[in-house]
Structure 1
Amino acid sequence: SGSAGMDLATTESVTLEKSEVKVVATGVWGLLGGNKSALLIGRSSTTLQGLFVLPGVIDADYQGEIKIMVWTPMPPCFVPAGSHIAQLVIFNNQPSLAAVKTRGSSGFGSTGVPQVFWAQRVSNSRPTLSCRLEWGNPLQTIELSGIIDTGADVTVIS
C-alpha cells in the first residue's frame, strides 16, 4: 500500500510505572538486507495516547532483535502485547567513511562508551549548584553555592 513505514508490534506487555525509558521487544530481527537501514519512529496514534517512542536508527548490518524504547510523561501507562506502537521507515544506507566494524547483535551503545552529562532543570531563576571543596592536611572543607549560568563566559570561584 502507500504506507511509508512498516508497523512494529510489542511481543510482551509492559507497564511504565515511572517517567523513565523502557525497552520493549518486538520479535523482529535484523538484517534488513539489500544495504538498507531503517529509522524507528513512533506511530502518530501512539503519541496521541501519551506514549512516546524514542527514535532510533537500525543499521544495515545489525543482526539482533529490534527493540522499541518507550517513555511516558504521565505514568502509569500500560502497553498490551501485540500493540502496534512503532514503525520502521526503510532507507538506502549511505557508504560510511568510518572504519568498517561488524556489529552483529550488539545494540544500545554498540558504537561507543556511554557518556554522562550534568543537566539542570529549567526554571525562571538562574541555575545554582552547591559544591564542597576539600583540601590540606589536616583536612579543611568549605561549602559553596553559586549561580552556574551568570551569562559570562567564565565562572571563577575564589
Structure 2
Amino acid sequence: AGSLGVDLATTVDVTLIDTTPQMIPTGWHKPKDSFGALLFRCSSAGLKGLIVLPRVIDADYTGEVKVVAHILHPPMVIPAGSRIAQVMPLSNLLQAMSLGKSIENIGGDRGFGSSGPVTCLSLQLKSRPTLTVTLSYNGEQCPIQLLLDTGADVTMIS
C-alpha cells in the first residue's frame, strides 16, 4: 500500500504572467543511475488551473528536476513550498535489454532532448503467441497461422 509518487514543491515564489510554459525549480535531484521517473501534476495544482506537462526523467539525469507548467488564465502566483507535481519512480528496464550495440550515455544534467539517438525497439514475431486455425468455406479448408493479441478489434483475412 501507500503512494506511488512523491510530491514535488516549488523552491521559490513563481508568478506566471502569460500562457507560455515555464520551468519551475523544485530543488530535487534524484540519485544518479538509480531509476528513471515520470513527472505528473498533483491533483490540487490542477484544481487551481495549473497545467503541468508530463515528462520522462532519464535514469542517468543528474540535474535539478524542474516542473514545466503553464496556465490558461494568467496571472497566477505560486508561493514557495507549493506542491505542484508528483514524481513516480520507474525501473530502468533498458539496461537489462540487449540491443546489439551500446547506447551512448549523454544524460548528465542537460535534460530536455538529451536522451541520445533515436532507437527502434521491436519484438521477434516468432516469440509472439500464435495459433493455427482452420478456415472452412463451401467444403474447402485452409489452415492458417494467426498472431494472437494484436490489439486490433477486427482481423481481416483475404
TM-score normalised over the length of structure 2: 0.65
Distance in 1 of aligned mates of 2:83 and 2:46: 12
How far did residue 57 of structure 1 move?
0.7
Q: What letter corresponds to residue 68 of structure 2 in structure 1?
A: M
- The residue that corresponds to 1:26 in the other structure is 26
CA contact (8 A) 2:52 2:70 kept: yes
2:113 to 96, 109, 113: 109
- The residue that corresponds to 2:130 in the other structure is none
User: Are 1:86 and 2:90 an aligned pair?
Assistant: no
- The residue that corresponds to 1:5 in the other structure is 5
CA contact (8 A) 1:40 1:56 kept: yes
- The residue that corresponds to 1:67 in the other structure is 66
How far did residue 32 of structure 1 move?
5.1
- Which stretch shows the higher mean deviation, 2-11 or 90-99? 90-99
Distance in 1 of aligned mates of 2:10 and 2:114: 23
CA contact (8 A) 2:41 2:53 kept: yes
Distance in 2 of aligned mates of 1:100 and 1:27: 27
- 5+ residue gaps in structure 2? 117-158
Any idea what the Cα deviations from partners look like across 1:9-48, whole Å, max 9, x if unmatched?
Answer: 00011111111101011111133553x1110100111111
Which structure's residues are more often helix, by fraction? Answer: 2
- The residue that corresponds to 2:124 in the other structure is none
CA contact (8 A) 2:33 2:61 kept: no
Identity level (%): 45
1:100 to 91, 99, 104: 104
Query: Taking structure 1 as reference, are residues 46 and 25 closer, same or farther at Cα in structure 2, changes over 3 Å only?
Result: same
Q: What is the number of equivalent residue pairs in this alignment? A: 112
Distance in 2 of aligned mates of 1:65 and 1:90: 15
* Largest Rg, 1 or 2: 2
CA contact (8 A) 2:106 2:115 kept: no
How far did residue 109 of structure 1 move?
2.5
Any idea what the Cα deviations from partners look like across 1:56-114, whole Å, max 9, x if unmatched?
Answer: 111111100000001101111111111011011111111164723231111122237xx
- 5+ residue gaps in structure 1? 113-158
- The residue that corresponds to 1:149 in the other structure is none
Q: Tell me, what secondary structure is at the counterpart of 1:95?
A: helix
Q: Tell me, what secondary structure is at the counterpart of 2:19?
A: coil
CA contact (8 A) 2:7 2:85 kept: yes
Distance in 1 of aligned mates of 2:106 and 2:19: 34
CA contact (8 A) 2:39 2:86 kept: yes
